[in-house]
């Protein structure tokens, strides 16, 4: 019996969903002047090639040979059939998962990190800055930059820096410099430390520091690991490969599932199938988020900042408000107040179905998966696992076969302390009250952008 399909080839092109969207995306707005940003406004921060991709109307974008060479270290990733899980659930459904934990960094994130490092190096940039929370994105960028001879500076949220030393070790091992944020290296960091020397940091503060560092150094750019159109574009290698691998098996999914933080692994697996859906094919696309940070299920579709300080352009997206501080669940990668504009529009149009789960049911699903399939999912990934299990159980109830595909966005081998807490029964569920969400959203009202 063959349990996985490693066959197929690495796609030679990324799929750009922009020309196929049901309506054009609303343009990003300048943070102060509130007018649409021009591509050249972004040049202090991003490579020209990436800015071009951000607004491109070309359906297919060629993947440069140098990027394919690095991808070839771990791509194509295996597509597994979850025989063990199917048997345990006693379901008529077939469950497939695309194993993105196979990358050296352990998640899907290098798919875009490698592309971003390549284009920046090609345009003469010597260093990339970024922020990281739990460290997955920082690790992916540290891994990627070393292939193209550029440096990497990571501002890591101070609490994570102290609590999660191993991801910092990974980043340093791959040659990156890592600073706990807030740091005294930037004006924004310094001003926070002056008022509060023990500030634990936040993703919003770390973004402000990384952006300031890039904006004030001409040989330095900034790099973002999710949300933006070009990030989702690079991640489509996941869905394109999966589609070809399923085709080899004579299969097509009824439902495609991904967990959703900023929307990049979900977009990566789902958008190539959206291309078929846009021309009439029947396939459901399900984005899974935590109930503790319910952006797509409880947020509003509006212009909002990407960071806490309000330095980034305003994006039209589902958001809980840029001041929203989600409870500290273990799926750190899903604790973002906003979501990718592409994914947001598809949810708004009723094309993508969002679902939300609470932390303990998600960890229970992860445990079932680890005990039937062997692989230990990252807590983020476990959200997709939970949704896949629910789909499979529904198929059983309805006594109808169905083919399920989900993105296994990363392994959980650096999240064992979260599993330890779960096994000891120490995990809590957080469901936000309507009042808490309305309070955070009322801040947005003050922005008063009606477009
Ligand atoms: C970062 C991360 C996510 C969430 O980010 P998206 O941009 O929504 O994909 C999900 N899974 C893993 C393993 C991650 O590292």
184 and 242 inside one domain: no
Backbone angles phi, psi at 170, to 5 degrees: -60, -45
351 in any annotated domain: yes
179 in any annotated domain: yes
Please report where in the chains the tokens 């300080």 appear, as a residue: 309
pLDDT score at 1: 65
Atom 14 (ligand 1) nearest CA? 333
290 and 418 inside one domain: yes
pLDDT < 50: residue spans in the chain: none
Atom 10 (ligand 1) nearest CA? 380
270 and 397 inside one domain: yes
| Residue 402 Cα to ligand 1 middle (Å) | 26
Answer left, alpha or beta for residue 385, where phi above 0 means left and psi between -120 and 50 means alpha.
Answer: alpha
349 in any annotated domain: yes
Please report where in the chains the tokens 């445990």 appear, as a residue: 367
pLDDT score at 327: 81
84 and 178 inside one domain: no
**The total number of structural domains that make up the chain:** 2
**How far apart (Å, rounded) are the C-alpha atoms in residues 145 and 129?**
11
| Residue 121 Cα to ligand 1 middle (Å) | 25
61 in any annotated domain: no
pLDDT score at 445: 78
Note whether 334 and 259 are within 8 A (CB).
Answer: yes
Identify the domain containing residue 149 by its residue range.
Answer: 110-224
Could you identify the atom of ligand 1 that is nearest to the CA of residue 266? Answer: 9
pLDDT score at 447: 73
pLDDT score at 444: 82
pLDDT score at 450: 57
pLDDT score at 434: 84
pLDDT score at 448: 64
| Residue 98 Cα to ligand 1 middle (Å) | 14
64 in any annotated domain: no
Could you give the C-alpha distances from 106 to 135, 197, 380, 381, in angstroms and in order?
Answer: 11, 34, 13, 12
| Residue 378 Cα to ligand 1 middle (Å) | 9
Could you identify the atom of ligand 1 that is nearest to the CA of residue 264? Answer: 7
Atom 3 (ligand 1) nearest CA? 333
**How far apart (Å, rounded) are the C-alpha atoms in residues 251 and 359?**
32
270 and 179 inside one domain: no
- DSSP for 5-29, please give it: E--S---SEEE--GGGSSSPPPPPB
Q: CA 329 from chain center: how many Å? A: 16
Helices vs strands, H then E, count in the chain = 17, 15
291 and 219 inside one domain: no
pLDDT score at 163: 83
Residue where one domain finishes, among candidates 155, 189, 224: 224
**How far apart (Å, rounded) are the C-alpha atoms in residues 253 and 321?**
35
| Residue 260 Cα to ligand 1 middle (Å) | 7
244 and 153 inside one domain: no
Residue where one domain finishes, among candidates 191, 224, 257: 224
Note whether 344 and 276 are within 8 A (CB).
Answer: no
Q: Which residues contact 64 (CB under 8 A, 6 or more apart)?
A: 118
Residue where one domain finishes, among candidates 224, 251, 272: 224
pLDDT score at 44: 94
278 and 335 inside one domain: yes
Could you identify the atom of ligand 1 that is nearest to the CA of residue 378? Answer: 13
Buried b (16+ CB within 10 A) or exposed e, 407-433: bbbbbbebbeebbeebeeeebeeeebe
Token couple for 357? 């789960």
52 in any annotated domain: no
pTM: 0.97
Could you identify the atom of ligand 1 that is nearest to the CA of residue 231? Answer: 7
Ligand 1, residues at Cβ distance < 6 Å? 107, 109, 136, 226, 259-266, 333-334, 378, 380-381, 409-410
pLDDT score at 7: 67
Choose the residue to mutate in 113, 259, 385 for probing ligand 1, maximizing ligand atoms within 8 Å of C-beta: 259
208 and 81 inside one domain: no
Note whether 80 and 373 are within 8 A (CB).
Answer: yes
Q: Which residues pair with 289 in a beta bridge?
A: 356
**How far apart (Å, rounded) are the C-alpha atoms in residues 440 and 408?**
32
335 and 251 inside one domain: yes
pLDDT score at 449: 67
332 in any annotated domain: yes
Note whether 220 and 58 are within 8 A (CB).
Answer: no
CATH number at residue 121: 3.40.50.1100
What is the per-residue pLDDT across 237-269, written as a single tens digit (0 to 9) for each? Answer: 999 999 999 999 999 999 999 999 999 999 999
115 and 91 inside one domain: no
122 in any annotated domain: yes
**How far apart (Å, rounded) are the C-alpha atoms in residues 171 and 173?**
5
392 and 330 inside one domain: yes
Cis amide leading into 76 (omega within 30): yes
Could you identify the atom of ligand 1 that is nearest to the CA of residue 107? Answer: 13
């Amino acid at each position: 019996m063959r349990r996985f399909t490693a066959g197929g080839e690495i796609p030679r092109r990324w799929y750009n969903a922009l020309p196929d969207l049901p309506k054009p995306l609303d343009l990003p707005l300048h943070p102060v002047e509130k007018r649409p940003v021009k591509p050249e406004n972004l040049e202090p921060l991003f490579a020209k090639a990436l800015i071009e991709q951000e607004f491109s109307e070309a359906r297919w974008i060629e993947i440069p040979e140098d990027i394919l060479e690095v991808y070839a270290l771990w791509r194509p990733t295996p597509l597994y059939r979850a025989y063990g899980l199917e048997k345990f659930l006693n379901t008529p459904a077939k469950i497939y998962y695309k194993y993105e934990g196979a990358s050296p960094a352990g998640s899907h994130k290098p798919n875009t990190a490698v592309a971003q490092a390549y284009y920046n190096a090609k345009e003469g940039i010597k260093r990339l800055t970024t922020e990281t929370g739990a460290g997955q994105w920082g690790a992916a960028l540290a891994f990627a930059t070393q292939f193209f001879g550029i440096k990497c500076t990571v501002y890591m949220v101070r609490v994570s820096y102290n609590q999660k030393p191993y991801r910092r070790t990974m980043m340093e091992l791959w040659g990156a410099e890592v600073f706990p944020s807030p740091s005294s290296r930037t004006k924004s960091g310094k001003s926070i430390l002056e008022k509060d020397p023990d500030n634990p940091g936040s993703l919003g503060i770390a973004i402000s520091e990384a952006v300031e560092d890039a904006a004030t150094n001409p040989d330095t750019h900034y790099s973002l690991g999710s949300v933006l159109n070009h990030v989702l574009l690079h991640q489509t290698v996941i869905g394109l490969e999966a589609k070809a691998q399923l085709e080899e098996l004579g299969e097509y999914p009824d439902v495609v599932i991904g967990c959703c933080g900023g929307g990049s692994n979900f977009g990566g697996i789902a958008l190539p199938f959206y291309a078929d859906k846009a021309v009439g094919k029947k396939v459901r696309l399900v984005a899974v988020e935590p109930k503790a940070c319910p952006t797509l299920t409880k947020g509003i579709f509006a212009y909002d900042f990407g960071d806490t300080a309000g330095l980034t352009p305003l994006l039209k997206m589902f958001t809980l408000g840029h001041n929203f501080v989600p409870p500290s669940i273990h799926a750190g990668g899903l604790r973002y107040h906003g979501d990718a504009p592409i994914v947001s529009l598809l949810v708004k149009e009723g094309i993508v179905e969002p679902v939300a789960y609470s932390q303990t049911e998600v960890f229970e699903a992860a445990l079932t998966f680890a005990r039937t399939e062997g692989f230990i999912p990252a807590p983020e990934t476990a959200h997709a696992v939970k949704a896949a299990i629910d789909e499979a159980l529904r198929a059983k109830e309805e006594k109808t076969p169905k083919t399920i595909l989900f993105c296994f966005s990363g392994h959980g081998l650096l999240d064992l302390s979260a599993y330890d807490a779960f096994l000891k029964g120490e995990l809590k569920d957080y469901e936000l009250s309507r009042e808490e969400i309305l309070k955070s959203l009322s801040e947005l009202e003050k922005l008063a952008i009606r477009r």
